[in-house]
Structure 1
């Protein structure tokens, strides 16, 4: 699609004094109008209203058949039957900016606002894709989370952000703030920090208002999403960025750490270019064959298991992985002393194609499971029990959290396994598994981290860990 830059004095943007914006209904919340110690006074910010007028000049509709119109100064999007999401897309493109708006949606209608949105003929026939600040009225309440529409799926869920989940008011107006500055994207909902990611995929794109496709029987009732008070800062927005909130940051810089991750104690376990810090489990040094390092990717294909030189006790480990079709692998931790690889395992598997997915009990050998012990289940969103998996050939993120005896497995932002090592329930699971008879299985105090080589092609990158 062709996009043009809006004029500062015409098109869809026009200067409006802050007092006038407040009179039009832009909420004067403390989070949006109080300057951080390092920010310029918000009252001096050069806010510009994104003028949503009848006929919607400066915008065009794409995707599904939802109806967009301006009613009483509010943008209204009404769902219509169909299987395709609808978008009202700005003709203007934006790089760095701060945007605020209010949104209200029917409890059955998911929505969102694209941040630096994309649409290209060479990508899935021009489908709208990219960063999206979520408006999620479901019981999950992940409004303010960051979703990578039609691409990587969730970049920042609210699975570990209970304050943001609690502040969302389903069926009522909620205030959003989005800061897109450099490679950092942050969101707030009703003044509560919701998202903090660092990602360098898209530096510029359009703004778009979504009406999500829903079942036809619901769509025929015409549920609505409404937006009002949409305003933006594009002139030196970093000057008006809010102070650091303490919210955990998710970094998506390949084999690099963001400043926020470094402050939080993260360290890279793999440098992206060598075998430094790793060894072959079956021999000295890094394997001479079977593991390859190229283009920032560490790939297994028949070289045997590898493990870190260092051992770890309490930690959070994050690993990006990419499976070939039919691949089998794993990430092991709490490995038994004196053994090569007897330990707890986060299973990496192509569930659809590898026969191991149907072995074991109740799916306890599938992707993200505690291998042969606990099947992976969507604990973050019980109403949608399926896994959020990017298919073979695309990257996924595995996270393992170990605090004392408590352990969690996460997959692409969703908690999949939650257990306590050494508990009666855990011991019963071990007794019913292939590890029955292994004295003290899984209860060892610390061990290296191990990447399994099952003979299948599996790629790894951005391997990072922080100690507790």
Structure 2
């Protein structure tokens, strides 16, 4: 009987409060101009007309953690909890972006699903988790638990397992409380309230919970909204399907390696390799949007080429095409070479146009994202979300650049309406993953 009266076991986890119950010390506002106030030991977010999404963000950044909080939301609102999120000057003029644990009181009921704010959209909706959908309490307090450990994100709503996502896009960032923008026809002044916001950052595996929810894995795969928008994977993360040697009928037997969802071009002395050689897509593409994650090693040189026609170069050496340069600018001599000084630096249009020198490049051993958009001959290069150059194929200015470059001997260089995508073997160890394309015609 005494044991039965003892109550629940005491929570001995090393929780730390993120909110002192009285002030917004340690928090700052980004994005829109929604109103954040403190009332009755809670943070109140109030909608305002004609303003974008608003975020009350922690001033401290968090990588791995366990987060718990409670909230009460008006039934007409949409909101969310940002985790591992960032605001960077080069990315969409500082727009807040990153993982969001959804707050969704609508009939859809995807509260505690995971959305990628201002990037890929829905990653882990709850359309296949009716128990979690039914766990949300309308016009009442709801409790969230969020675990972010390594590449694994897990959520619970009112102790019901909700989302389970394995995604390695972002390792750290701030936590933020979102007040969503409202439509012009909606009255402002609607509230969402948060309280009991606390976090663990130590001994996480000791306090982590198992979940019966099967994980959604996005490495070398697409989010549901990406699929809806027409994206396709160019590499499946496991096989050589869809690729062949640029000068071969099949995939090279050496020089390339697939391991743990990463495609490696192997080191072979720093020159254009004869062991493996470049690889190209088996299909050709016209207008497209392409994204590739890449990681260099010290002193490495490689590239992503597009509108490639392997028939243009029958001899040894690299296949010919427009090239998004991949380079260790600090250590490779090519960074100081080229038709225009700097036109062989990372993210440049190789030998033709120099990328913005203020580009946000992560160094050797860290992942970067190359992004190329080519539509109606207008081409843009992005690096880690920042546009670093643009040009127009077939224009007089473009043809003048080619006429004064190493490509002058190739007629109509870079002007094909369709071509292959190529990953370059330049004899240095470089890694690729998450290779995807969106055909635009």
Normalised to the residue count of structure 1, the TM-score between the two structures is: 0.56
Cα 1:409–1:25 shift into 2, 3 Å: same
Of residues 408, 414, 420, the one that matches 1:436 is 408
In the alignment, does 2:380 pair up with 1:408? yes
User: Partners of 2:287 and 2:154 in 1: how far apart?
Assistant: 39
* Contact 2:293/2:432 (<8 A) preserved: yes
Secondary structure of the residue aligned to 1:376 is coil
User: Partners of 1:132 and 1:417 in 2: how far apart?
Assistant: 26
Q: In structure 1, what is the equivalent of residue 102 of structure 2?
A: 179
Q: In structure 1, what is the equivalent of residue 337 of structure 2?
A: 359
Secondary structure of the residue aligned to 1:409 is strand
In the alignment, does 2:239 pair up with 1:274? yes
Q: In structure 2, what is the equivalent of residue 333 of structure 1?
A: 306
Q: CA RMSD in A?
A: 4.4
Q: In structure 1, what is the equivalent of residue 349 of structure 2?
A: 370
Give, in angstroms, the shift of residue 460 of structure 1.
Answer: 0.7
Secondary structure of the residue aligned to 2:412 is coil
Matches within 5 A, 1:210-359: 231=194, 253-301=218-266, 302=273, 303-336=276-309, 338-340=311-313, 341-359=319-337
Q: In structure 2, what is the equivalent of residue 144 of structure 1?
A: 96
* Contact 1:299/1:459 (<8 A) preserved: yes
In the alignment, does 2:399 pair up with 1:427? yes
User: Partners of 2:431 and 2:418 in 1: how far apart?
Assistant: 26
User: Partners of 1:195 and 1:373 in 2: how far apart?
Assistant: 31
Of residues 359, 362, 369, the one that matches 1:387 is 359
Cα 1:344–1:97 shift into 2, 3 Å: farther
Secondary structure of the residue aligned to 2:342 is coil
* Contact 2:344/2:354 (<8 A) preserved: yes
* Contact 2:309/2:320 (<8 A) preserved: yes
Cα 1:266–1:332 shift into 2, 3 Å: same
Q: In structure 1, what is the equivalent of residue 151 of structure 2?
A: 201
User: Partners of 2:409 and 2:61 in 1: how far apart?
Assistant: 61
* Contact 1:322/1:459 (<8 A) preserved: yes
User: Partners of 1:252 and 1:430 in 2: how far apart?
Assistant: 43
Of residues 376, 381, 389, the one that matches 1:417 is 389
User: Partners of 1:88 and 1:351 in 2: how far apart?
Assistant: 29
Give, in angstroms, the shift of residue 282 of structure 1.
Answer: 2.0
Q: In structure 1, what is the equivalent of residue 6 of structure 2?
A: none
User: Partners of 2:341 and 2:385 in 1: how far apart?
Assistant: 23
Give, in angstroms, the shift of residue 203 of structure 1.
Answer: 2.3
Cα 1:97–1:31 shift into 2, 3 Å: farther
Q: In structure 1, what is the equivalent of residue 29 of structure 2?
A: none
Q: Which runs of 5+ in 2 are unaligned?
A: 1-11, 23-38, 74-79, 104-110, 125-149, 156-171, 177-190, 198-215, 267-272, 314-318
User: Partners of 2:308 and 2:112 in 1: how far apart?
Assistant: 41
Q: In structure 2, what is the equivalent of residue 62 of structure 1?
A: none
* Contact 1:95/1:204 (<8 A) preserved: no
Secondary structure of the residue aligned to 1:338 is helix
String of CA shifts for 1:411-462, please: whole Å, max 9, x gaps: 1000111110011111111111111232111111001111110011111111
User: Partners of 1:88 and 1:346 in 2: how far apart?
Assistant: 32
Q: In structure 2, what is the equivalent of residue 190 of structure 1?
A: none
Give, in angstroms, the shift of residue 298 of structure 1.
Answer: 0.8
Of residues 78, 87, 90, the one that matches 1:134 is 87
Q: In structure 2, what is the equivalent of residue 380 of structure 1?
A: none
Secondary structure of the residue aligned to 1:427 is helix
User: Partners of 2:343 and 2:96 in 1: how far apart?
Assistant: 33
Cα 1:5–1:273 shift into 2, 3 Å: same
* Contact 1:114/1:133 (<8 A) preserved: no
User: Partners of 1:310 and 1:456 in 2: how far apart?
Assistant: 26
Give, in angstroms, the shift of residue 201 of structure 1.
Answer: 2.7
Figure out how many residues of one structure are paired with residues of the other and give that number.
306
User: Partners of 2:119 and 2:243 in 1: how far apart?
Assistant: 36
Cα 1:271–1:97 shift into 2, 3 Å: farther
* Contact 1:334/1:445 (<8 A) preserved: yes
Secondary structure of the residue aligned to 1:397 is strand
Normalised to the residue count of structure 2, the TM-score between the two structures is: 0.59
* Contact 1:93/1:204 (<8 A) preserved: no
Q: In structure 2, what is the equivalent of residue 453 of structure 1?
A: 425
